[in-house]
Structure 1
Amino acid sequence: MNDDTIGLSRRKMLVGLGAVGVASAGAGLGTTAYFNDTETFEDNALTAGELDLFVHVDYSEDQGSYGSWSTDPGTYVDGNVVGGEEDGEPLSIEVSDLKPGDSGEGEFCFSIVDNPAYMWMCGEVTANDENGQTEPETDADATGGDPGEGAGELADAMQVTVSYCTDDGEGGMAVGEEIVSGSLAEVMLALQAGVPLSGDGDADAPLDGREPFEGVESAFDDEEPNVAEQCVCFEWVVPTGVGNEIQTDSVAFDFEFYAEQSRHNDGTNNPCVDETVVTQYDNDWKGQTLGTPTDGSVYTSVSFGENQTVLSFAFVDDGDGVDFLDAGDYSSTNLPVAVDADADGTHDWQVIWQPNAAFPDDPFGYVENTGGSYGPAQSLPAGFSAAKVGNTIVFGIPNSQIDSTFRLLAYGSTGGEGPVAKVNDDPSMGPDFYNSADAVEFSD
């Protein structure tokens, strides 16, 4: 809204009407005539504001004697198009002849015209291919060179760090707090679930209490980028310890940044996912008196990707210093998730986060329904992945192992001394890890 184009504010309008009413009442005393007068307020206008996100990109890579590459100075993306040209192409960075020791880094800075906004970073691995095997790779990789989706090792071999960063005033960037790090596969798993960004660079800011990014009047000032203070830096490296297992492999992935106005908004809307269900912690489970209760919500989200479906569980506590996922606050805290992969009424398997259970993939495990009972915890099956990012638990499930319509039951427990977090259609019911009648159904 542009106040300069509004001829009359609401407050002024009310005062004007009040004055007319008093004059009419006073003039009506002692006379049979009704005086009247009309004042017209013309050319009133309401003008909507705008929100337009520009992402300024500075990227470079170092491949030693093979060479180096960087984006052109002044590269920016507007509407997913490089340079904002209407018929342009999305920014695409390709690295060929990748070897151990190669590295790259990118900086993403933001012009949000002209309203402050909450921001999210999204992403997805779109390909992770084996592309056959050479003779040296066969000795190092016993998978047999399966050309199928997700068979490559490169996404697991590359190490990635995403951090906040700011202009250091000397032509470089000062790296701040880390947002997410790990293998490329782990980082992209977190990004497919959606990573909220904080305008003050606080990596620990709560989902519903973080600072928005400031707005600017224009994306450029005298042809120089006019950006918010906080930028996001992205660094990748293929460690020198990686061997022949990555020969001929290739990986492709997408980044996306999303801005949503902060006015009349709490920043909890996750644009990276397809569906979100919000449930409240239960501090009165079966009438028990809880020793260390805490209030909060769990945001259960599902993202249907090209190759995998991502389940994420973001825990938002009330700021009392007691955190649902903190094993120091609740020594037995855990999150089992039962999945009816084909929505036929029976849960097929569970994926579990439990930091003190000594699982094979500590702190993550997998158990399968063998026809009315669950066996001991196993390592996550091939193609499954999991990560804990701040107060969010994320599971990646290959699309071959889950249908586009499935049912999910989650039952976060703190071991009896604190609240539980239930995700099912009837929160008053206890969890049924076999029958999925009360589970939440999701569909692509």
Structure 2
Amino acid sequence: MTRRSDGGRGSDGVGRLSRRRLLAGLGGVGAIGAASGAGTFAFLTDAAALPNNTIGSGEVALDISCADHDGTANCTVSDGLVSVGIEGLDRGSYGAESFGISVLTNPARLWFATVCPDPDLAAFDPLGDALSVTLVVENGGSSTLFSGSLSALREAFVDGLRIDDLDGEACLSPDETLDVTLYWELPIDAPSVAAGRETGFEFRLYTEQCRHVSEDDAVGSNPFAGLGPCEEPPEPCPECEFGGKADDVEGQISISDPNDTATWLSIDEGPLAGEAFLFVTDVEYKDGDEAVGVRFDLVDADGNAFGDLCEVRLKGGPTTERYQIEPPSPDTGAVLLAPDGSGNSGRREISNIEIDICVDEERGSDEPDDSGDPDEPDCIECVNGEPTLLGLTFRYLGSEPAQITGVPEQGGASTGLLFEGTVAPDERFTLDGTNLDRPGNRDDWIGPNVEIVVDGGTTVSIHTSCSVALGVGDAFGSDGAGGPLYELVAGTSTDGEPLCDSEDRS
């Protein structure tokens, strides 16, 4: 089995699939769930003495200490590398972290350089992007080195900055301490996705003895010169679209054998049916043989990486657990767990797995269709009572996370849940008609009318029989501030046809 060397970032054209290729399944199912933290930083000690630092000219002993003002940040020092981790913040939080730097032997010049973040981590770091920071150096006087976001600070001084001469006098004496303080604040109006995350930054220090090196010669002593700029993070997912479903899993999952494709989970519904497979690399079981967690790669029939996962949903019982894959990757990155059961039953067994993948074209692209593929379907209009709808995907436009429930309209013949779960602002959720219980042998469909309920209170009714025109881009409900509460972003008929945009109605 082979994997792409670019980690699924799409630089070779493999990781981003054409949106036209997925046109038949654009309605599908989609709900963006929670994701893991943005960074990992090594925490070793809170102080370090670095004797016999002979990187520069002459012998210098450098002492670095950290002082956390409020316990929210973690500072560690190892071999001239200082790491700071910040986590667990609420919007409106603020604090500071200080570093005391002194030389213990001879007067020395001192260079400071920030360390480029890992590109994959930088691609999704909502806390780093939202955290407002100010970096101040004090040595008799005070100098502000930087003000802006933490993400921007990480790239600001990659090429190094000399900081021993900021007070106008060159060289740090053994009896002086230079204080570097990072002040930070998470604004009250920061995106909700930033709260509770983890982020951080790192910087390096370099010393050079002043005694035997003139100031003129010291101009060329900066060892960090030329290290920037930082590598660009991978391109974000242009559009996350329904890729398909591995159906009828019913808890029967085992580790995939690279030499036996029969052990791979096949995508048997949706636009990638018959083309894509889930190559299982880890499974968590309950009661010995019921799979309640799974990790997998998205591959083609030859075992090669097949696009980037951006979202995965595991259904167990009547509910679904949703995971956002950030940054997008062919690998889920960890074992994903099915929903919790009621009472003491623990995790439910996985009944099916749905995937969303990154596609190249954004909705509304007016590029001509030159694929020449006669099998590429057109979208279908929801008018005049046709077609019957299987699923509708909405974007939640509220300002705070909410418990959202989708049900068939009260009084109808169908029962059950179309959707239930907690949805964050700007995230998607899907009303899925396959979840309903129907009398007789009626086919799966969403029903003629649905209701969406927020936190057990506000209810929005939507007519879904197509006797009233319905299209992608339509908005529903009220957010209480003059805007809509939901936007319809995708839909699919019971025949697998994608729903047209409302602006394209004939």
Normalised by the size of structure 1, how large is the TM-score?
Answer: 0.34
Normalised by the size of structure 2, how large is the TM-score?
Answer: 0.30
Greater relative contact order (CA < 8 Å, ≥ 6 in sequence): 2
